[in-house]
Amino acid sequence: MALIVQKYGGTSVANPERIKKVAERVARFHSEGHQVVVVVSAMSGETDRLIKLAREIQAQPEPRELDVMISTGEQVTIGMLSMALIARGVPAKSYTGGQVRILTDESHTKARILEIDEKRMRADLDSGKVVVVAGFQGTTEHGDITTLGRGGSDTTGVALAAALKADECQIYTDVDGVYTTDPRVVPEARRLETITFEEMLEMASLGSKVLQIRSVEFAGKYKVKLRVLSSFEDNNNGTLITFEEKSKMEQPIISGIAFNRDEAKLSLLGVPDRPGIAYAILEPVGSAQVDVDMIIQNIGVDGSTDFSFTVHRNDYQKTLDLLNNTIKPSTGAREVRGDNKICKVSLVGVGMRSHAGVASKMFKTLSEEGINIQMISTSEIKISVVLDEKYMELAVRALHKAFNLDSAMPPAKG
C-alpha cells in the first residue's frame, strides 16, 4: 500500500466525461489498496474565462478580489470529481485549499505556500476515503483566499505530497511525459524515461511548459518523487524526475532542448567603461520590477563599452522607455537599441559536465544553418543562445539532430 498524490490538469477534467475517466483511474488505485489524494485544476479555459470577466470590470483587477474569482474554477471540479467517485461507490470527500489549511503568504495571485495541516486529510485517508483537493488556491492566516500563480495546481500537488510524505506525486497531463523537445516543433522528439531534477528545473525555467517551475523547486526542496504522465493513456510510465544521475556511460550529453519567444533584447551602446556602470544601468531596471535574464558587457575600448541584456517581452516597452528617458542621460551612453523579435534556444544536460566541446558543436551546427548568434550564456548544465526569432524552429530541429536526440536508443518499456 502506498500513499499517492495525483494531480490532474485542466484538459484532464475538461468535461464530465473526462472527469468520469479520472474517477475510473482513481478508483482503480483505490481498489488496489492505495491511499489517494487527488488535486485538480479548473476545467480547461475556465481560469482564462474568469480573468477575462474580471478585466471587463477593471483593467488591472484588484488582486485580492481577482483571487476570490479565479479560485472558483477548482471548486467546481473538486465537487464534480468527488461526485463521480461516490457514484462509482468510492468514498470521497472534496476540500478547498482553505479547508485543508493550505496556508500561504499574502501575495495575491502569486502566493507562496507556507504550511499545510495534513491532519484532516490523514484522517480521511485512514478511514478509506479518497481526498480531493482544489489546486491553485490557499488561504492567508486571516482566511483570505489566495492563488498560487498560473499553473499553480502542480505546486499544490507537490506541496501536498511533501506534507503527507507521499510515496509518489503523479502529475497527469495531456502529454505522456517530458520530451527531448516540443514534439510540435520536432516530430522526432522522444519521451524521456527519466530526467534529473536539476535538468527539469532548467527546462521549466527555459520555457518547457510541462510543469510549473515552482512545483519543481518545491519537489527538489522536499525530495518529492515526481512523475509526469498522460491522463489519456492507461499504461504509461511517463517521465520520472530523479535525484540521482545516471552513470557516465549511459548519460547522454544533452537531455533536452528548450526554447521560447518570451524575451526581448536591449542594448546601451557607448557607455563609459568605469566601476559602477552595470549597477547604474540595472538598478533602475530592477526598481521598475523588471527581471533581467541574460547580461553581456563587452571589453571596453577607448574608455567606453556596450552593454546588452534581455527582459521578458511584456516588459520590453517599459524597459526601452526607461533606457531612453532615464538611463541613457544618467550614464552618458551614446545610443539605445532594442529588439523584441528574438528567441532563446537552450541545450540542457547534466552530461555536459563531463563532456568538452558541447558549445562548439552547438555553434558549428547553427553556423551551418546560417544562423547568427546574438548572445550566449552558459551554466554547468546549460548553454543558451539568443537568435532572431525567425530561426527558432530551424535551430531547434538542427540541434536536436546534431546531438543525436532523435536517434538515441528508444527508452526501455516496462
Question: 152 is in the binding site of which of Mg ion, ligand ASP, none (Cβ under 5 to 8 A by kind)?
Answer: ligand ASP
Q: State the minimum distance, in angstroms, from the CB of residue 1 to Mg ion.
A: 29
Q: State the minimum distance, in angstroms, from the CB of residue 151 to Mg ion.
A: 4
Q: Which stretch binds Mg ion (CB under 5 A): 5-13, 77-85, 199-207, 306-314?
A: 5-13
Which residue in 179, 213, 175, 181 sits closest to 193, CA to CA? Answer: 179
Q: Which stretch binds Mg ion (CB under 5 A): 42-50, 146-154, 311-319, 397-405?
A: 146-154
**Smaller CB distance to ligand ASP: residue 110 or 312?**
110
**How is residue 209 written as a grid cell?**
511548459
Please state, in angstroms and rounded to a whole number, the distance separating the CA atoms of residues 123 and 128.
Answer: 9
Please state, in angstroms and rounded to a whole number, the distance separating the CA atoms of residues 36 and 2.
Answer: 8
Q: Please list, residue by residue across 88-110, b when 16 or more beta carbons sit within 10 angstroms of its beta carbon and e when fewer do.
A: eebebbbbbbbebbbbbeeebbb
Residue 216 is inside which H or E element, if any? helix 213-222
Q: Which stretch binds Mg ion (CB under 5 A): 42-50, 145-153, 164-172, 185-193?
A: 145-153
**Smaller CB distance to ligand ASP: residue 152 or 351?**
152
Q: State the minimum distance, in angstroms, from the CB of residue 372 to Mg ion.
A: 35
Q: State the minimum distance, in angstroms, from the CB of residue 165 to ligand ASP.
A: 23
Q: State the minimum distance, in angstroms, from the CB of residue 406 to ligand ASP.
A: 31
**Hey, what amino acid is at 138?**
G
Q: Which stretch binds Mg ion (CB under 5 A): 138-146, 149-157, 251-259, 340-348?
A: 149-157
**How is residue 156 written as a grid cell?**
499544490
| Residues in contact with ligand ASP by the rule CB under 6 A | 9-10, 41-42, 47, 73, 135-136, 150-154
138 interacts with Mg ion by CB under 5 A: no
Please state, in angstroms and rounded to a whole number, the distance separating the CA atoms of residues 106 and 127.
Answer: 34
Q: In terms of residues, how long is the chain?
A: 414
Contact 15, 46 (CB under 8 A): no
Contact 132, 82 (CB under 8 A): yes
Residue 48 is inside which H or E element, if any? helix 46-57
Per-residue CA distances from 6 to 38, 159, 169, 244, 324 (Å)? 5, 12, 6, 23, 50
Question: 177 is in the binding site of which of ligand ASP, Mg ion, none (Cβ under 5 to 8 A by kind)?
Answer: none
The residue from 61, 98, 151, 349 that contacts Mg ion (CB under 5 A) is 151
The site for Mg ion, by CB under 5 A, has a size of: 2
The residue from 4, 6, 8, 9 that contacts Mg ion (CB under 5 A) is 9
Q: State the minimum distance, in angstroms, from the CB of residue 71 to Mg ion.
A: 15
Q: State the minimum distance, in angstroms, from the CB of residue 95 to ligand ASP.
A: 16
Residues that bind Mg ion (CB under 5 A): 9, 151
